[in-house]
Structure 1
């Protein structure tokens, strides 16, 4: 099994990253899928999606949970039965999870690809002002942070471009403040990020 990385963000918050290298059958070992999970898995035509789904259940196991401890609300946001905060992500050959005892959290993993420059105008505005020659890497960081903010806030109608702001950063920093400005209210977050194997991961914690 391939737990790729474990990060203790603070005494009550942990990030877990899984590298998906195993076949489906091996990813099923050690976990007990609920009837709902089995139904969802059976409905997935893509092997990549099925393995991603199973790797997330392996991450739950690593964190000390059973598959039945995870549920989703009507908007698709994940929750844990014990009330702890959780966020989940999956991209190609990696999946990730962040769990916190109390703080609202969000996480995202994305593959670094040139095509992000083509869609950048859809999710950033003033952030164009601080992009450098590392534009693809920086845009991927911005996207990941904004996606993680969306998962924290989980409010229908929130726009990446209009309602989220990523404060200028350098790739080497590994963290930056980020804001959500929605309906006249400002909420501040601490966003952290790192790169690995052509991917970017960002996670945000509510201040």
Structure 2
């Protein structure tokens, strides 16, 4: 499970990105008993099991960097993972090839990673507003950026039933901009976020931090 990237995103947020190469059995052995078996038992797909185990292994290593005793994770009523017996905020993302985790001891954080794929072009009208759709121009890298940025902000907020198209807006950006601005609205709440972008081997990685 080689480390691909380690970075302190701001003063309090740290990112770790790993390439997922181990088998499910190898990951179980590496993690030992440091996970909640009842959560894993709910996952039947082998690849999803690998991703789940790898993400918990990564959380464990990241927690140790912050001097946190790792007692596993649970999920809240919205399905968002949190550390057992610790108030630090975490967010997890995984693709077939990679697993990434970000931790922030002080405030909510969200992360997403997506490989550029033609499905983003086929579904773009479902997650982009009119101005966003026009700006993207069906360019795959821009569509991927929009999707990852919105997903990261959605995960920062941590509640379900938020429309990507109507409730999450990404301000106009240039292709080379490393930090975007995202705004999420939910009834009377408005969340503004700085969204940091990184690219790895055709994958867009977005980390959303509260302002």
**TM-score, with structure 2 as normaliser:** 0.89
Gaps of 5+ in 1: none
Change in CA separation of 1:103 and 1:43 when aligned onto 2, cut-off 3 Å: closer
**Does the CA-based 8 Å contact 2:181-2:192 persist in structure 1?**
yes
SS in 1 for 2:150: helix
Q: CA deviation at 1:158?
A: 1.5
Q: CA deviation at 1:28?
A: 2.2
Of 125, 128, 147, which residue of structure 2 is paired with 1:143? 147
Worse-superposed segment, 23-32 or 176-185:
23-32
Of 106, 109, 117, which residue of structure 1 is paired with 2:113? 109
Distance 2:46 2:74 in 1: 22
Q: CA deviation at 1:66?
A: 6.1
Distance 1:78 1:137 in 2: 28
Of 156, 170, 186, which residue of structure 1 is paired with 2:174? 170
Deviations 1:88-131 (A, max 9, x none): 11111111111001121100011110111110000001212322
Deviations 1:15-67 (A, max 9, x none): 11121011122222342336x73344344332211110111011012211566
Distance 1:42 1:82 in 2: 24
Change in CA separation of 1:79 and 1:45 when aligned onto 2, cut-off 3 Å: closer
SS in 1 for 2:117: coil
Distance 2:56 2:160 in 1: 27
Change in CA separation of 1:202 and 1:187 when aligned onto 2, cut-off 3 Å: same
1:127 aligns with 2:132: yes
Of 74, 79, 82, which residue of structure 1 is paired with 2:77? 74
4+ aligned runs moved over 4 Å, structure 1: none
State how many pairs are aligned: 205
Change in CA separation of 1:188 and 1:43 when aligned onto 2, cut-off 3 Å: closer
**TM-score, with structure 1 as normaliser:** 0.90
Deviations 1:65-101 (A, max 9, x none): 5663322112211112210111111111111111001
